[in-house]
Structure 1
């Protein structure tokens, strides 16, 4: 195998674009995290190729500064992240890398799972598209082994070839090179340690919410011993906190039990965070998770209206949500609630129910987002079948502007209600005093101040932008 010089790139941007796990989001505060796609690829590539890593978003690099850094590396291949909110800028930047530095380009992004071939037809600067970053196909592609290649779209003899995707039930990957990433530049709400990183214990999601890409990917579990091997390496770096980036952590009860028991037995001295579902959490699971080091959980609550939950195929009830948050309080596990404002069928009344429900649940942190009609999701297909033409994929950025009207709610009204949700949730004296009372380190204090100022500046004071 010819040894290549490979750059793992999170491209620069004018916002804090999160492009990992085939999702699209823009950080509403100063929070950011290692992009797990690039981490996993570093594991596959580390023993076969020379590696460079540039997370231009985390390092807050401009386009020119990023290009200058890259031009000095001598890399001949770039694996880059992209997303629906930033694709045009990403593609333009990569075109410059190809034109001026002669780099081979491999793209990884959620919308490319469904539009990869058409994107390559339109943008010749893209040499290939990766369809599953957790599988070892990158090694076959770089070796030129197209006969056994899967999970890729690539160019061959002037044609664009799409390989079939595989759907294994289990997976593992070599331990990633966490040490190559700027871990001190990442922050996350409710994190406890000065430095943290991310890992996976599963990929995809067994549930099928209408708005979510992970539910379209299938679901597979990572070998538990492989997870423990990575956690042991992470601990050897002096890192004592991990964010598990699974879409539905703990969805498989037996896998969760085995993982937590082995984490306890390994005595790693690692605390961790995860994202789960309210219908997954019960007394047995949360007790075991707490013993294994879990200190905070993110939940997709989405709505405070039962009918809206049904229309988005969420598969949960408000009472299940109440029980999950109550269990977390009982076990002293912090919570982060995700809510969506403006789903199809929403009215001002249902949005106000969601705001009231958020305050009732009393999560430590809450995020209020707008629905994004991703290609490949039921929401995206429904929007397109209704005749709505999405000519600007920048509408997937829910920080600068709303994207779609909902029934009688105009985009301006949805934006107003979303900002109202932030004001009513965060600017309550009781909430502010609660957050202050739980600050135990200077790092937490500074993180809270930055987050508060960011919310105040970017969301509460900003007028609707067309």
Structure 2
């Protein structure tokens, strides 16, 4: 059976609500790549259309459908692209009514009934469909009748084939400037799924954590080195270091591969010996969710850490010689401009190598979405649900404009300091470093410009 998998159109300007130029930020759609690998293993003919990286629009999608003539089209649905996805479904059914349309991904999992009702779709996939998709294709009439198909989480991630990256042009994928060190080539992978923590802004809160074996992970890395000449890995797990024994074993294996890498994790899941081992194994950068400089706000979002605890882990990371990307949130529940200033002050005090200031967005399916009325007002039009526009305004702010001004102030106060600029210049060792810093400056300047509409 011919299957076309699509990640809907989205450009960087829409994604970040600002014009940041052509500086990267495109990641391979690993969810679709896993799905494609499962389907190919079952002898289906599969193509992937990653519209954002190729700057494709609906007309490109229809051209591909007319050329490839798939029997099934699968769409990845994320909340900010719900309107775009709906338009794609309508156009496909208008021109090719016999095609079976399936939708999966976070938005379909969170709001399956709404998706089934509002979009011209035949099947809505809820949760992880890797182990269910082949069965669905074998009996489409049955599952089209059900329409909403509940899938189970994959218990053993080692049984999944490696993502079908060969269906993408891997040379087109580059992270944002602060998230890679070596080009070409850097790519992304995941070693786990799920997160056992309860942050109120996170869709995956209390999701069952599952982790691949170190051997399985290294096998994928070796394949990417052989097939694509990959020199750097960005581990895209929410919390790479949840199991410290596993992480030490991974570091032992990565040392032999002589590859540089970065990761995401929580500040309460590291210690100095682990960080030193990670550095020795090639880790150059860690992304930490710090979120706020106010302990009360951290309690409001169930971060389960204090500011002092986070400071200690930051010091350990700096002592180990690993760069830090710190993520901070503006507009948290219970926040006022004064409390937001404490967050900015903490960012300056901690001196991460890069600071990301996002705007709190209560996504459907999160605890914050369910309780937003207690904390503020919410615009439920999903186009701006990407973390860079104030759809949620806490009661402590006068209006959306004041919140947006605080967001810009955070970028300005952190990045426009002589001390920070001198620090960045002192770390330039190569032409690649010059290029990354110039691109990074474009991002910051783009964030400081007048807010742009994210309409597609």
TM-score by length of 1: 0.87
The structure 1 residue matched to 2:10, chosen from 1, 9, 13, is: 13
Q: How do 1:341-352 residues align onto structure 2 when only pairs under 5 Å count? A: 341-352=330-341
SS at 2:52 equivalent: coil
Give the Cα separation in 2 of the matches to 1:229 and 1:57: 29
| Equivalent in the alignment of 2:312 | 323
| Equivalent in the alignment of 1:241 | 232
SS at 2:180 equivalent: coil
Give the Cα separation in 2 of the matches to 1:59 and 1:298: 27
2:126–2:150: 8 Å Cα contact kept in structure 1?
Answer: no
For residue 393 of structure 1, report the CA deviation from its aligned partner. Answer: 1.8
| Equivalent in the alignment of 1:456 | 445
2:394 counterpart of 1:406: yes
1:373–1:380: 8 Å Cα contact kept in structure 2?
Answer: yes
For residue 463 of structure 1, report the CA deviation from its aligned partner. Answer: 4.6
2:216 counterpart of 1:222: no
The 1:97/1:448 distance shift into structure 2, 3 A limit, reads farther
2:434 counterpart of 1:445: yes
The structure 1 residue matched to 2:120, chosen from 116, 124, 127, is: 124
Moved more, 249-258 or 343-352: 249-258
The 1:39/1:162 distance shift into structure 2, 3 A limit, reads closer
Give the Cα separation in 1 of the matches to 2:186 and 2:65: 26
2:56 counterpart of 1:54: no
The structure 2 residue matched to 1:112, chosen from 108, 112, 116, is: 108
Q: Deviations over 1:210-250 (max 9, x none)?
A: 10012142211123222121111111121111111111111
| Equivalent in the alignment of 2:222 | 232
| Equivalent in the alignment of 1:43 | 37
Give the Cα separation in 1 of the matches to 2:280 and 2:344: 33
The structure 1 residue matched to 2:174, chosen from 187, 211, 215, is: 187
Give the Cα separation in 1 of the matches to 2:154 and 2:437: 41
2:369 counterpart of 1:372: no
Q: Deviations over 1:247-291 (max 9, x none)?
A: 111111222223222333xx2232111100111110122122222
Q: Deviations over 1:372-407 (max 9, x none)?
A: 1112211010015789675412241333x3112212
Give the Cα separation in 2 of the matches to 1:239 and 1:334: 21
| Equivalent in the alignment of 2:152 | 165
SS at 1:193 equivalent: coil
1:290–1:333: 8 Å Cα contact kept in structure 2?
Answer: yes
1:172–1:223: 8 Å Cα contact kept in structure 2?
Answer: no
1:106–1:130: 8 Å Cα contact kept in structure 2?
Answer: no
The 1:208/1:79 distance shift into structure 2, 3 A limit, reads same
Which structure's relative contact order is higher, taking Cα pairs within 8 Å and 6+ residues apart?
2
Q: Deviations over 1:140-167 (max 9, x none)?
A: 22222899xxxxxx521xx434435347
For residue 106 of structure 1, report the CA deviation from its aligned partner. Answer: 2.1
Name the one with the larger helix percent.
Answer: 2
Give the Cα separation in 2 of the matches to 1:283 and 1:314: 21
| Equivalent in the alignment of 2:343 | 354
Q: Deviations over 1:418-466 (max 9, x none)?
A: 0100111112222223223323443443343233223313x21215869
2:138 counterpart of 1:138: no
Q: How do 1:58-77 residues align onto structure 2 when only pairs under 5 Å count? A: 58-77=53-72
For residue 296 of structure 1, report the CA deviation from its aligned partner. Answer: 0.8
For residue 328 of structure 1, report the CA deviation from its aligned partner. Answer: 2.1
SS at 2:264 equivalent: strand
SS at 1:42 equivalent: helix
SS at 1:58 equivalent: helix
For residue 298 of structure 1, report the CA deviation from its aligned partner. Answer: 0.4
| Superposition CA RMSD, Å | 2.6
TM-score by length of 2: 0.89
Give the Cα separation in 2 of the matches to 1:209 and 1:321: 16
| Equivalent in the alignment of 2:82 | 87
Moved more, 27-36 or 79-88: 27-36
1:10–1:57: 8 Å Cα contact kept in structure 2?
Answer: yes
Give the Cα separation in 1 of the matches to 2:51 and 2:265: 29
The 1:212/1:261 distance shift into structure 2, 3 A limit, reads same
2:250 counterpart of 1:259: yes
Give the Cα separation in 1 of the matches to 2:453 and 2:203: 27
| Equivalent in the alignment of 1:151 | none
2:428 counterpart of 1:431: no
For residue 118 of structure 1, report the CA deviation from its aligned partner. Answer: 2.7
1:16–1:32: 8 Å Cα contact kept in structure 2?
Answer: no
2:292–2:298: 8 Å Cα contact kept in structure 1?
Answer: yes
| Equivalent in the alignment of 1:21 | none
Q: Which runs of 5+ in 1 are unaligned?
A: 19-24, 148-153
2:333–2:375: 8 Å Cα contact kept in structure 1?
Answer: no
SS at 1:57 equivalent: helix
